[in-house]
Each structure stands twice: as C-alpha cells, then as structure tokens.
Structure 1
Amino acid sequence: MEQLIAQLNQYNYHYYTLDNPIVSDKEYDRLYDELVALEQDSGIVLPDSPTQRVGGETLSGFEPHRHQARLWSLDKAQDMDSLEAWHQRVLRLINDYNSKNPDKQLPDPSFVVELKFDGLTLNLTYTDGQLVQASTRGNGVMGESILPQVKTIQSVPLTIPYKDGTIEVQGEGIMNLSVLQAYNETAAEPLKNARNAAAGALRNLNPQVTATRKLSAYFYNIGYAESKIFADHQEMLQFLRDNKFKVNPYAEYFSSMDELKAELLRIQERRASLDFLIDGAVVKLTDMRTREVLGYTDKFPRWAVAFKFEAEETSTILESVSWNVGRTGKVTPLARVEAVELAGVTVQNCTLNNIGDIERKNLKHALGARVFIRRSNDVIPEILGKVPDEPEGEEIVFPTTCPACDSELELRGAHLFCNNKLGCKPQIVARLSHFASRDAMDIETFSEKTAEQLYDELEVRDPADLFGLTFEQLVGLNRFGEKKANNLLQALEVSKTRELAAFLNALGIPNTGKTTTRVLADHYRSLEAIMQATPEELVNLPDVGSIVADSIVGFFQDPLQRSSIERMLAHGVAPQVAAEEEKVVNTESVFFGKTVVLTGTLHQLTRDDATAKLEACGAKVTGSVSKKTDLVIAGEKAGSKLTKAEQLGIPVITDENELIRLLNEALGQ
C-alpha cells in the first residue's frame, strides 16, 4: 500500500502540479483500483492515500481554526501614481533604517511581481511533513477548518519531504475557466463564475460536492515556520516547489520600477488569455530581512502591495431602470441588466447617474438593447453606452412624479428632485439616519430601522420631532421596551450639547461635509452668525467656493429649515463652541501659520483629532495640495496628494510617531 501510494502520488504530482503526465489514465486507474481493494481488505487507509480525495461524509458545520501566524491583507494601488507612492514610502523607510544602522545596511530594494489570483485564500498546516489542517483566511487570525474539502484538491500534497516541525503554507483555491466550462456543459445548475464556484465548493459542508468541482490551487507563501528561515523570495518559492506544491510559473523579478510598471501593463493585456481569474498583480520586496525591518501596519505589510487592474468591460442587455429617492430629495436611476460575469463577480445592477447621463450615453431608447458596462475594482458597475449598431430598444421614461410620494419632480440641471421634504418617506428616513449618525449628532441606539419605525408609527417627519418624543410614546412601540425607550431618550438628551460643527453636519447642508462645517463653526463661533452669513463673506473662508456659499445661504433661508432649527433650539438643543480663551495658539510651533494637508490613514490619531491639534498649533488644514501648501502629512495609503507634494518639493511628514512628538511639543504635552 505504501509503495502504491508513493507511485500514485508521484503520478498525481506530474499530472496536476506540473501539468506533465508520465503515465496513461488506464495504467493509473489499474494501480488506483488495486489500492482501493487493499484498503477494503485490510480496513486500513494510510494518511496520504489518494483515495481520501474523493470526499467523505457531510459535515455538520465548520470548526473555527486559529492560525499559527496572522494572514495579512494587502494594501491596494489603484493606479501607477499609487504604486509609485508605495515605492517612495519603501525607499524612505529603507533609507531611514540605513541612516540609523550603518553596520546593518539593508540592500537596495528589488521586487517580484506575481499574479493575484481571484479565488479563496487557503492556509495549510503541515506538521513533520503531514497535512494536518487546512482553513480559510477568515479575519486573518481565525479561519474555518476545511481540511476534508481541501483534500479533494489533487494539486495539494498530503505529505511533503520537509519534516522539521510545523509550517503554514498559503495559497489560493481556484477553479480553472476550462474546468468551469466543462462542468457547466453537463451540470443541472450551471455555475455563474469561477470565483464563486471555487469559494462555494470549499465552503460546502459536503466534501463530495467539493470533489465534483475539480478545483486547483496555487501556493505562494510560507506564513509560519518553526525552524526554516529564507534569505529571499526566490529561495522560498524554490522551497515550495521542492516540497511538491503547485507554484505558478509566473514570477518576474525587477530592480527598476520603470521595467516593473511596464510588466504590469503586459500582464493586464494577457489577462484574458489566462485559464483562471486574476484581479491584479502583487508587488513584493524580495529580501526577507528588509521585509522584517519594514514590518506591518495594523492591516497590511509595508513591503507588499496589490496592483489592481483597470476596470473590465463587457456587454449585456439593459432590462429595466428604477428610480430611487435619496436624503436630499435627488431621484437617481438604477439600471437592472441581464446577469453577466465581470471581473470575477456576477453583475445585475449598474449605475446611471442622472437623466443627463442617460441622454449623453445614448441610452434613452436602450431598454432591451445591448449595452457596454464597466466595473472598476469593488465599485458598482456603470453603463458606458449602447453597443454601436445595436437596434434601438424601448424608451427609458423619465418620471415626472416621485416614485415614493407621487409629488411633482423638479429638474435642476441634469438631476431630478422631489421637493416634498416633509412627506416623502425615503428622504425623511435617510435625513433622520444622517442626523443621528456618528459624525453628526451621534445619537446612540439610533438606526435606519429606528428612523423608519418612528416615521411609520409616530409620524416623525423632521429631526426636530425627535426631541419632542416621550417615554409613553416610545414604550408603546413594537420591540421597544422600557430600557430601549429610556436609552433613546437619554441619547437624545446627551446629543443636545454636541459641538456646533457636528450639529451643522447633522443638518445636511447641500455641498458641505465635515471639513466645511468645521470651518464654519471655527470662524463664526455661533449658529446665529452662520445663519446670517452672506455669500460674499463665506467665499473668503478656506475651501468655500461660490457654489458652496450659495448652498449654505440658501439652506438657512429655507423657511422649513429655519423652522426645524428653531424647534430644536426650543427643545433645548444648544450646540457648543469652545470659549475664545480656551483656543490657545502657540506661535512658536513648527506648524504655526503653515497650510497643511492631511492624506492617507493615521493609526494613532483620527483625522479629526489630527486636524484639531494642528489648528490648535496655528496651522490651516486644507483638503488639496497646491503651491500654497507648506506641509503634507502622509499616512498609510497616501496617494496622488503625496505624489503631487513630492513633485512640488513640499516637505512631507510620513512618520506618525514624529508627527505626534511635534504636536505634543508644540502643545506643551
């Protein structure tokens, strides 16, 4: 039996991993049948027997599995500018380390490019050469055990030559496109796309179903090893090959970023010719010591990045267009298309921005016609236009009345609006939800379902109505007990003294967000002053143009909005502003008088905290980089703003610890 298993596993390795068969199917089947007979006669099945790959009994559920080492996500570069920004961060980190460690210099960076498979991440555990566990990625720390399912993948070795302790090997479970096509030719229920087919098979509680999908897997990383250390990426990949793992033959090495970028474009061009799905390429530093020094953020390795390919396009049939009402009353179209696979997912809904978009893209008479669609990364796909020479379809009829409340719609530019602010349920529910959200009044326990329930059962039509609610009203609602009623009333009471900037954001002034409302609050320092501001005054504020100024003035001139605000004030709402004497500015600060731009993700400070501290130091924080910018603070995932700053020669702070040190020094903390 051991001899037969060794022989059959060698044949499997050549057939499934190397794609190079060395024996006929007839000869393989004869040896396989002989092994099956021996197992039946003896009642013994050895751990690495290929007969285990057919799938056993259906499982009752997946058991959680804790990985030996964390499985990290990859930061994404959406374009070449983002990739170059990652490259510059790598160079700065290496140069900074080398300047501080003259005796332990890191080498100049070199890179490897690998394909980014679009399947299901696998984490395999081998102990003393034996496959003892297989799991999904899960949250990176805990996954789900899928060992019986993974054993059905013929290219996964059940035993490996390396027997020095435990290792974890990471890869991607996939379904080849040719296998998917062959499967669908005879399947009672055809599978829609290869990615879902692979993920669904590996998370199917019946391993026999998994076996019918004939999955494959490519492996690319050792995430954990008790005693094995690799000098570079090439050595690690060779270790995988030596231990019978299927490694994709594509792995290109570069020392020049220009050559690397050119190769990424070539991969994208060849993408359609591959027999499996990829959604990008992965760029990694090759030197393992450099990887260790650069380390990780709380989410990503600093030494690797996923380059996401540009949007994919295809064509399908435009089946229908529905119209949805948002918080501001804007009525937007949503297209329903005939289901089609695009960039590894099945697409049925597509974006249409407004009626101007429909007319510009020649879609007015396209219902039932074939249209081009594009999906960019994880964004909902958009319709690009009707396929040329495609016969006209039925007309997309633009609504004249609101689909929710039947009020007459108003056309403003290319957008339709429902002006029934007090009687149109979708926009009222959305407005209430925004008012209570974290960046606004931050009313705990409040959700969109709560907003909808209050609309339906207590006729709440405006944020001001919330502050008139009583315990007797709330406790009588479905699923509202005494505790929930008291909690909501307490949360409403606490929200009455939110900061003025948060209150302004909660109001939902068109064309404004957190940054603009903060500027308004800091400059005017009272709600009354803001409500009386003129467009001429407002345009002199940072990041406030004429359109935003007109929106602010128009909002506060609206009788409905003024009435709502007055009612809230009557209920005791009192937006807070720090007293002038509390706003101390340190004129000796390195930030004093500087125009500063924040970009990317900070991990020790929130964006709001960093902005507040910088302003306390006398800085002016703006949202865009220009020649007037004095300093850029770049966190993780800093993109085009960082690139522009470097092009303009603007000083950049990339070390968050250094930023915090300078802030604390300036603030006397």
Structure 2
Amino acid sequence: MDPMHSMEQLVEELNKYNYHYYTLDEPLVSDKEYDVLYDKLTALEVETGLVLPDSPTQRVGGELLKGFKPHRHLTPLWSLDKAQNEEHLQSWNNRVLKLVQDYNSKNPDAPLPAPAYVVELKFDGLTLNLTYTDGKLVQASTRGNGVVGEGILAQVKTIKSVPLTIPFKEGTIEVQGEGIMNLSVLAAHNESGADPLKNARNAAAGALRNLNPKVTAGRKLSAFFYNVGYGEEIQFDNHQEMMAFLKSNFFKVNPFIAYFDSFDQVMSQLHEIQEKRASLDYLIDGAVVKITDMRTREVLGYTDKFPRWAVAFKFEAEETTTVLQSVIWNVGRTGKITPLARVEPVELAGVTVQNCTLNNVGDIERKNLKFAIGSRVFIRRSNDVIPEILGKVTEDNDGAEIIYPEHCPACGFPLEQRGAHLFCNNRLDCKPQTVGRITHFASRDAMDIETFSDKTAEQLYDELAVREPADLYELDYDGLVKLERFGEKKANNLLAAIEESKGRDLAAFLFALGIPNTGKSTTKVLADHFGNLDGIMNATAEELTALPDIGGIVAESIVTFFADPFIQAGIVRMRTLGVEAKAPDKPLQVATDSYFSGKTVVLTGTLHQLTREEAAERLEALGAKVTGSVSKKTDLVIAGEKAGSKLTKARELGIQVIEDENELIRLLQNS
C-alpha cells in the first residue's frame, strides 16, 4: 500500500476515534491503541514530507457539541508534546538546554537561569477553563479545540471543589484544571444500582457535558487546578508563585507536585509516581514536566501546537480493549458462583491478559454484557489484580449471549439466585466448596497450618475423604504416607503443623470457620468481647448488634451460622480432638489516658510507614477499639492512600478523619 493511501486511512480512522472520544464521550479504542496509530501517522508525515489538511496532527481538541454556547478562551489552551519513553524525555530536555544556551550566548547581560523543573500528575478527566472577573466565577468551559470551547458554567458550579468567588479582585483571570470523578465515588455510584458508568474519565466528561446540571451534581465530581492562563493584573516569576496564588484563592491543587534542579531527580520522581499510581483514588495516564521559570517559558515559546517548555510523559496504559471470547463459572467456598471471562490475549500494564473478572450476574446485566460474547470490551488492570471488564465498546447487543448456569458446574445441584449472585446450596457434597472451606481453615490468617495448600486440600478430599475441617484432626501417619508426593518427612511435618494449630486463639479459630459476612476484625471483636466460644455460639442478634463493627446483617449471619447442627457437630468434634479455641489468658495491657483511649477507630487505605496490622496493634495498645466498618458508632477514621468508600461514608457522617500519616505517627508517639 502506498504511503499516501495509508495516511488517508489513518487520518480517517483517527478522526473517527477523536469524534467518539472528544465529542460523544464514547471512546471506541483505548488511549494506547490510539497512540500507536497516531505515531504511525506522524512517522509517515515525516517520511513523505506531506501533511493532509484534516490530519489530527494539525489540530488540538474536537468539535463542539450542539446545545452549548461557544466560549472563546482569552488565551489558547495548548496541548502538550508527548514523551513515550525516557529517551524521548531526555531528548526534550536536551532541546531545552540547547535553547537556553543559545539564548544566553546571545544575551550575556540578561542570561536565563539554569533550568529547574516541576513534575505534576497528568489527570485523566476533562480539561476545565474557568473565568473569574473581579473575584466572581463568570464562565466555565471545556477545552474544545484549544481556542473555542463549550460553555458549561451551570455544570461546573455543581463541583464543590470549584470556588464560586475568590479573594483576587483585580480584573479578569482564566484558571485551568481538570474535572475528575474519584474512583471511590465511581465505585459507590455503580454499587447503588443506578445507571452504570464504564470508567471515571467517561463519567466525568459525560457529566460535565450533560445539558442537565442535576445529572452533573449527582456524579459528585471533583477538580484539580494547575495553571493561570490569563491575568490582566497579575504576573508570576515562577511556577511556585503561581501554585501559591491558586492555593491562596481556594483552588484545589493536587498534593503530588515536586520541584527539582536536576533532571536526574525528575526521572526518579517519575518512577516514584508510577509506583504510587495504583494507590491513587483518581485516574492518571502520566506526568507533566515543566520548566518553572516564567521568563524562560516566554523565551522558549511554542511550536505550532505545543509549548517548548513542557512535556507529557505517558505511562503504560492500564486500560485497553479486547474481544470477550467466553465465560466460565467457578464455585467458591461459600457456594457463590463467580463468572470468569476469557478474552483475546492483550498486553496491558506490562503483562499479557487472558482472564478478567465479571463479579456476578448482576454485574453482567448492569454493564450491558449479556450479549457480548465475540464483542469488543473495555478492560482495566490496576494494582496487580486480575483485570476487570468495564463494559462494551458499543451499546448494541451485537454479540452472542452469556448463558447463566441453572445447575452447579461442579456438582449439578440446582442454583439459587440471591441478589446479584448465584449460589449452590449443596454445601456438603460440592467439592469446590469443601476444598475451599478446608483451605481457608488452614490459611495463615486462620489456623495457620504450615505447608498446607489448596492442592493438599484437594488431595485429602479425593484420597482420604476429608470433608470438613474437623477431619484434619483425625488424620494419621499411615494414611498420609501412602499418598502420592507424601513421604515420611512431609507426612510428619503436616501432622506436626495440624497438632500445633490446636493452640490457635479464639479470634483465629472464629475466622477459620468462615462465618459469612465476617472478617478478621469482626472475629477479633467477638473474641475480645465474649472471651469464650460458648458465649459467642449462644449470643443473640441483639447482643451482637450492640458491638462495634456488627450490624443487623452480620449479626444474623453469626446467629444462623452457629444454629446450624452441621457446624455445631463439627465444633464439638474439633474441641474433643484438642482444638482449644481460647481467648488469651491475660488481656492486653492498654493505656487509659491516651488520645485514642475509648475511641472506636477504622483503618482504611494504604499506609507506608507501618502496616495496617502494626497500626491496629499500636492503636489497641493505646486503648482504641479497631473495627472494620464505618458506622455512627465510629469515632475516628484513619485514611491512607486510595481510601475508598469508608472514607466517603465517614465524611457523610461527619466523623473525624486523619488523612496525614505523619499526623498519625505523631499521635501514636505522643500518646
């Protein structure tokens, strides 16, 4: 195919993708796929020396939506040149150094300072341009094509992080930022069962470009601000001054901003941001590097499309599209049936993805995936977890149907739908459930039986008829040593580990039982309060709901669990065989006069200076009661990075929140 024809095809394809992405807010491909095509077109233009009139390389932004009044920006909103790797970034810096050197050689009496740099996050939302006159917000617009945008003042006013008035009253200024939806807000919205949103970027863009401001308000958007593009009566010497101005005028500035004199330090900071990316509560697709000195920016100037004094460093994509090939159904230890999607292999965030989670049948319906086999879907991977399917690229029912099973794929028992999930109620004779329960019972956070694994559980199920945790305590050497891959040493080690597990404390034993709707924090609350197994087994729902971290659903789960004759018989057997399940003899000596004394505390998000477990231990030693869920009984929430729905709920309830880990450490040390 000749280069001109290839360019025509690429221009047509990219312009179609631009229209769907910028105008309709319905992207057809991922950013990664778009960038590959864009780079191909750029290479062909360099090779041929020709640029087609409608090439996307010649313009910035997209077309205006009908229904919004156009707004002409007082100064252009420039796009940024992209560095796809460290070599490209180094090339950008070399150009900056050369331009500065050339200027200084010609202007020895007024040289530019050595370049200094600022590194900011590159948000994946919708660019906002706000106009303030005499301190009042008089207009807000999208970026549009960089010269003219869409007026969205009514929509932007619904964003609570946007100030309606500011202290600066000297004429007119334009401030640029990014409208975003926090990932925790997106998760809460989708959990509510309302209209499902595919991802946070689309949700923010769609809300801000919705003609009904009530829809925008319902999305609970946020915004970060990073630039003063125009000011009649204000001038800054450097980027630091501009950021100080934004903060002093009540604009929300992202805390991830760093200044450097060395370009090597810039590279290190970019690596650090990439490592922290998965812990953020909002989407970023890279970082922006800028020269801090404003006079240097003015001298370096602009190309036809980009400022020479800034560059965007793109990270590895966390989102892409692929084809959904099939769905299989897995059975968990609680009987829950979980769909797993097989997709056409695709590279994403540095790995080849072939499997994606679909959560449950309710998730399939909500995301319009019922007729999606063979269709192209959006997938996202973050924080090294199995990728999730976000939704279909198109809204059409253009794929084959995902058939929901009516019988358990493992044992053939009829399935029951409870809420959004399918369940197999054949608890006693369904192999995956039994193997899962035994594996959980022996896991590290439970009875901590060393050398035990899911393969061990499956082998014991198949060859020694182990059907419940109590059976583990009746295993003997003669039975184990005959098993394949079991020699004398392995058999003796396993028996010794099982024997040692008999002394695990009450909280560990309760967690090992796998009581529905309970986790480690809840079982610890039960053990600490009742102090013995019999008290817990005989507790009423009313007694349980009086405890922190236990609501009505959890209380009913606990009561129902211990009322089951099968469970009761298993516990009797284990106790007869030597399992102690006792609370520690001596209660933990705790402080009674510390800052945390008597407070019910919830830990959420990621801490960096100590683990959540270490933080919980220190808090409890200072008299706090650490629980796992936020309620009206909660006194304090400690929120690390990527604190999600628990932080949102704490704010809604007006509960005190500590978000600064250094402040937490100070309080722990001074209490």
* TM-score, normalisation: structure 1: 0.53
Kindly state the Cα deviation for residue 619 of structure 1 after the two structures are TM-superposed. Answer: 1.7
Classify 1:219/1:338 alpha carbon distance in 2 versus 1 (closer, same or farther; 3 Å): closer
2:497 equivalent to 1:495: no
2:389 maps to which residue?
Answer: 382
Structure 1: distance between partners of 2:498 and 2:461: 17
Classify 1:604/1:480 alpha carbon distance in 2 versus 1 (closer, same or farther; 3 Å): farther
> Cα deviations across residues 187-214 of structure 1 (Å, max 9, x unaligned)?
xxxxxxxxxxxxxxxxxxxxxxxxxxxx
Q: SS at the partner of 1:387?
A: coil
Kindly state the Cα deviation for residue 333 of structure 1 after the two structures are TM-superposed. Answer: 1.9
2:464 equivalent to 1:548: no
> Cα deviations across residues 499-549 of structure 1 (Å, max 9, x unaligned)?
111111111111110111111111111111111111111111112111111
2:407 equivalent to 1:401: yes
2:569 equivalent to 1:563: yes
Kindly state the Cα deviation for residue 345 of structure 1 after the two structures are TM-superposed. Answer: 6.1
1:61 maps to which residue?
Answer: none
> Cα deviations across residues 546-587 of structure 1 (Å, max 9, x unaligned)?
1111111111112222222111111100012123x6344432
Which letter does structure 1 place at the counterpart of 2:394? V
Which letter does structure 1 place at the counterpart of 2:419? G
Kindly state the Cα deviation for residue 354 of structure 1 after the two structures are TM-superposed. Answer: 2.5
- Given that 2:368 and 2:391 are in contact with CA atoms closer than 8 Å, whether structure 1 keeps it comes out as no
Structure 1: distance between partners of 2:327 and 2:445: 33
1:420-499 correspondence to structure 2 within 5 Å: 420-499=426-505
- Counterpart pick for 2:284 among 309, 318, 332: 309
- Given that 1:175 and 1:216 are in contact with CA atoms closer than 8 Å, whether structure 2 keeps it comes out as no
Q: RMSD in angstroms over aligned alpha carbons? A: 4.8
Kindly state the Cα deviation for residue 460 of structure 1 after the two structures are TM-superposed. Answer: 1.2
- Given that 2:338 and 2:358 are in contact with CA atoms closer than 8 Å, whether structure 1 keeps it comes out as yes
Kindly state the Cα deviation for residue 390 of structure 1 after the two structures are TM-superposed. Answer: 4.0
2:666 maps to which residue?
Answer: 658
Kindly state the Cα deviation for residue 305 of structure 1 after the two structures are TM-superposed. Answer: 6.2
Classify 1:470/1:549 alpha carbon distance in 2 versus 1 (closer, same or farther; 3 Å): same
Structure 1: distance between partners of 2:555 and 2:600: 22
1:287 maps to which residue?
Answer: 260
- Given that 1:221 and 1:237 are in contact with CA atoms closer than 8 Å, whether structure 2 keeps it comes out as no
**Which range moved further: 614-623 or 546-555?**
614-623
Structure 2: distance between partners of 1:571 and 1:497: 12
- Counterpart pick for 1:328 among 326, 334, 342: 334
Classify 1:389/1:660 alpha carbon distance in 2 versus 1 (closer, same or farther; 3 Å): closer
- Counterpart pick for 2:591 among 583, 586, 597: 586
- Given that 1:634 and 1:642 are in contact with CA atoms closer than 8 Å, whether structure 2 keeps it comes out as yes
- Counterpart pick for 2:86 among 218, 223, 229: 218
Structure 2: distance between partners of 1:286 and 1:303: 19
Q: Across the two proteins, how many residue pairs are aligned to each other?
A: 425
2:445 equivalent to 1:577: no
Classify 1:442/1:389 alpha carbon distance in 2 versus 1 (closer, same or farther; 3 Å): closer
- Given that 1:535 and 1:550 are in contact with CA atoms closer than 8 Å, whether structure 2 keeps it comes out as yes
- Given that 2:533 and 2:582 are in contact with CA atoms closer than 8 Å, whether structure 1 keeps it comes out as no
1:611 maps to which residue?
Answer: 616
Q: SS at the partner of 1:324?
A: strand
Structure 2: distance between partners of 1:239 and 1:182: 25
1:114-125 correspondence to structure 2 within 5 Å: none
Classify 1:384/1:479 alpha carbon distance in 2 versus 1 (closer, same or farther; 3 Å): same
Q: SS at the partner of 1:572?
A: coil
Structure 2: distance between partners of 1:533 and 1:650: 32
Q: Which runs of 5+ in 1 are unaligned?
A: 1-116, 120-173, 184-214, 223-233, 244-250, 270-280, 664-669
> Cα deviations across residues 72-105 of structure 1 (Å, max 9, x unaligned)?
xxxxxxxxxxxxxxxxxxxxxxxxxxxxxxxxxx
Which letter does structure 1 place at the counterpart of 2:488? E
- Given that 1:361 and 1:386 are in contact with CA atoms closer than 8 Å, whether structure 2 keeps it comes out as no
Structure 1: distance between partners of 2:38 and 2:393: 28
> Cα deviations across residues 614-647 of structure 1 (Å, max 9, x unaligned)?
2343222234567765444455666776788799
Q: Which runs of 5+ in 2 are unaligned?
A: 1-30, 45-82, 102-116, 123-160, 163-174, 182-200, 203-253, 286-316
Which letter does structure 2 place at the counterpart of 1:285? A
- Given that 1:284 and 1:305 are in contact with CA atoms closer than 8 Å, whether structure 2 keeps it comes out as no
Kindly state the Cα deviation for residue 309 of structure 1 after the two structures are TM-superposed. Answer: 3.4
2:513 maps to which residue?
Answer: 507
Classify 1:468/1:284 alpha carbon distance in 2 versus 1 (closer, same or farther; 3 Å): same
Structure 2: distance between partners of 1:219 and 1:493: 58
- Given that 1:501 and 1:521 are in contact with CA atoms closer than 8 Å, whether structure 2 keeps it comes out as yes
Which letter does structure 2 place at the counterpart of 1:622? T
Structure 1: distance between partners of 2:88 and 2:441: 47
- Given that 1:409 and 1:418 are in contact with CA atoms closer than 8 Å, whether structure 2 keeps it comes out as yes
- Counterpart pick for 1:528 among 519, 534, 538: 534
- Given that 1:254 and 1:260 are in contact with CA atoms closer than 8 Å, whether structure 2 keeps it comes out as no
2:305 maps to which residue?
Answer: none
Kindly state the Cα deviation for residue 427 of structure 1 after the two structures are TM-superposed. Answer: 1.7
Structure 2: distance between partners of 1:488 and 1:408: 36
**Which range moved further: 537-546 or 404-413?**
404-413
Which letter does structure 1 place at the counterpart of 2:389? E
Q: SS at the partner of 2:178?
A: helix
Q: SS at the partner of 2:460?
A: helix
Structure 2: distance between partners of 1:517 and 1:537: 15
Kindly state the Cα deviation for residue 613 of structure 1 after the two structures are TM-superposed. Answer: 3.7
1:246 maps to which residue?
Answer: none
- Given that 2:327 and 2:402 are in contact with CA atoms closer than 8 Å, whether structure 1 keeps it comes out as yes
Classify 1:429/1:253 alpha carbon distance in 2 versus 1 (closer, same or farther; 3 Å): closer
Q: SS at the partner of 1:262?
A: strand
Which letter does structure 1 place at the counterpart of 2:178? A
> Cα deviations across residues 465-502 of structure 1 (Å, max 9, x unaligned)?
11111111111211212111111111111111111111
> Cα deviations across residues 445-471 of structure 1 (Å, max 9, x unaligned)?
111121122122212111111111111
Q: SS at the partner of 1:398?
A: coil
Which letter does structure 2 place at the counterpart of 1:621? V
Classify 1:304/1:493 alpha carbon distance in 2 versus 1 (closer, same or farther; 3 Å): closer
Q: SS at the partner of 2:466?
A: coil
> Cα deviations across residues 239-277 of structure 1 (Å, max 9, x unaligned)?
79999xxxxxxx876799997852999xx89xxxxxxxx
2:603 maps to which residue?
Answer: 598
Classify 1:516/1:645 alpha carbon distance in 2 versus 1 (closer, same or farther; 3 Å): closer
Q: SS at the partner of 1:582?
A: coil
Q: SS at the partner of 1:432?
A: helix
Structure 1: distance between partners of 2:543 and 2:430: 34
1:226-305 correspondence to structure 2 within 5 Å: 262=178, 284-287=257-260
Structure 1: distance between partners of 2:41 and 2:567: 57
Kindly state the Cα deviation for residue 375 of structure 1 after the two structures are TM-superposed. Answer: 1.7
Kindly state the Cα deviation for residue 417 of structure 1 after the two structures are TM-superposed. Answer: 1.4
1:418 maps to which residue?
Answer: 424
> Cα deviations across residues 123-180 of structure 1 (Å, max 9, x unaligned)?
xxxxxxxxxxxxxxxxxxxxxxxxxxxxxxxxxxxxxxxxxxxxxxxxxxx9897469
Structure 2: distance between partners of 1:262 and 1:403: 47
- Given that 2:634 and 2:655 are in contact with CA atoms closer than 8 Å, whether structure 1 keeps it comes out as no
Classify 1:304/1:221 alpha carbon distance in 2 versus 1 (closer, same or farther; 3 Å): farther
- Given that 1:362 and 1:386 are in contact with CA atoms closer than 8 Å, whether structure 2 keeps it comes out as no
